Structure 1
Amino acid sequence: MFTGFGEAALDFYDDLELDNSRTFWLAHKEQYDAAVRAPMLALAAALEAEFGAAKVFRPYRDVRFRTDKTPYKTHQGAFVAVGPSCGFYVQVSAAGVRTGGGFYRAEADALARFRAYVADDATGPTLVDDVAAVERRGWSVGGDTLKTAPRGFSKDHPRIDLLRHRSLTFGRDHGFAPEVIGVPGFAERVRADWRELRPVVETLAEVLTDPFADQPDL
């Protein structure tokens, strides 16, 4: 049963940011398991019936192609996929808890479908309005964007800001106050956040999904 994220979870990440080493990790593995991973698994279980099974990410960084070789992530995330690299997200770190949704990357064909959807006068304006409505509710809008217009589109296109996105994400910070994130009722805040994002996230998932992916070859 989810009971909230306690101060021990925040303390763990505070300390990990100061000493991101295997020695620290091994000495505090039990703290991670009890204060971080177990509550995240419990939160995922509490939301599964409505949103689906979540992937609770491993704590280890992939450092193969990175100059930063610190071995451990300084946050614990969980993700519910509803489309290609698209879905709902929650994470805990030293800064507290953050919820979110959207798509964090897109293959070339999926990105082409997204841009065609945005450019289409029948569908693009509605998506722009949906994103604006989410932003008005206090969500931050982010993602990887081009500095200029994507190939094939004019820089004067009326929806050029959205067309520049190579990923599109929405985030909301809940902070670290114990009375907010450290109680069982916080699961309902995450549920409410994901429900608020569901219309735009499900639209994005549908747009990004290859409509012919599951059809057999003839």
Structure 2
Amino acid sequence: MAFTGFSTEGIEFYEQLAADNSKVFWHDNKHRFVEHVKEPMLALTDELADFGPFHMFRPHNDLRFSKNKPPYKTHQGAYGELEAGSGYYMQFSSEGLMVGTGYYSMAKDQLKRFRDLIDAGATGDELAGIVAAMRKKNFNVTAIDELKTAPRGYPKDHPRVELLRMKGCLAAKQFGAPQWIHTKEAAKRIREMWEGAKPLTDWLDSHVGPSTAPPTDRPF
């Protein structure tokens, strides 16, 4: 199945799911999820397979450790990771398309390398320059988790304290729902975003790289 875009029906499905996140609604509308969300996302992962292989996240929330979550996610995500270390993420929801790339959650050994490199003059300045340049091009360079202050052992007034506080490092763009997400051009725009973020992912892959810690020691 070739990727031809995400339909307006997919956006409407998620809008309605947000209003009625119940097993009854899901049972009655699962066929819409399959047709307008799951199948297009599978086709998109095939189209962008050189950034994968991709893992598609389940539509159900894990309720074992939280009773306050709704039973179903109001977005569909897919994640791929290359051998060099960088991850590639795309997400479709009622708000449209969001795309990201980088190191989402670093293991302890990665985080130590990352902070040592930021603290060092040359590599730290290089990363700070990359981040500043990408932000000027409207990339959101951030982390999904960060400390409130400098990590232990680093001064609170460190010149690159913003980067030191990060527990990961990624570039993201929220595209929203322009007309082109309903066409095959969406795959092209995602690819362009990932390729545009190469200064960051190349730095991370060259200097930080994949974790060598045992899987049980990793934060994911």
Q: TM-score, normalised by structure 2?
A: 0.89
Partner deviation per Cα, 1:76-128 (whole Å, 9 max, x = no partner): 01111136984111111011111111222122222111111111113111111
Give the CA deviation at 1:203.
Answer: 2.7
Q: What residue in structure 2 maps to residue 5 of structure 1?
A: 6
Q: What residue in structure 2 maps to residue 112 of structure 1?
A: 112
CA contact (8 A) 2:130 2:200 kept: yes
Alignment of 1:1-218 (within 5 A): 1-48=2-49, 50-82=50-82, 86-143=86-143, 144-177=145-178, 179-206=179-206, 207-210=208-211
Identity across matched positions, percent = 39
SS across alignment from 1:180 = helix
Residue segments in structure 2 that go unaligned for 5+ positions in a row: 215-220
Q: What residue in structure 2 maps to residue 216 of structure 1?
A: none
1:157/1:212 CA distance change after superposition, 3 Å: same
Separation of aligned partners in 2, 1:156 and 1:202: 28
Give the CA deviation at 1:141.
Answer: 2.4
Partner deviation per Cα, 1:46-102 (whole Å, 9 max, x = no partner): 111x32311111111112222423111110011111369841111110111111112
Q: State the AA in 2 paired with 1:126.
A: E
1:210/1:69 CA distance change after superposition, 3 Å: closer
Separation of aligned partners in 1, 2:105 and 2:212: 18
Length, aligned pairs only:
211
CA contact (8 A) 1:10 1:95 kept: yes
CA contact (8 A) 1:85 1:104 kept: no
CA contact (8 A) 2:107 2:213 kept: no
Kindly report structure 1 stretches of 4+ aligned residues shifted beyond 6 Å: none
Aligned-CA RMSD value: 1.9
Q: TM-score, normalised by structure 1?
A: 0.89
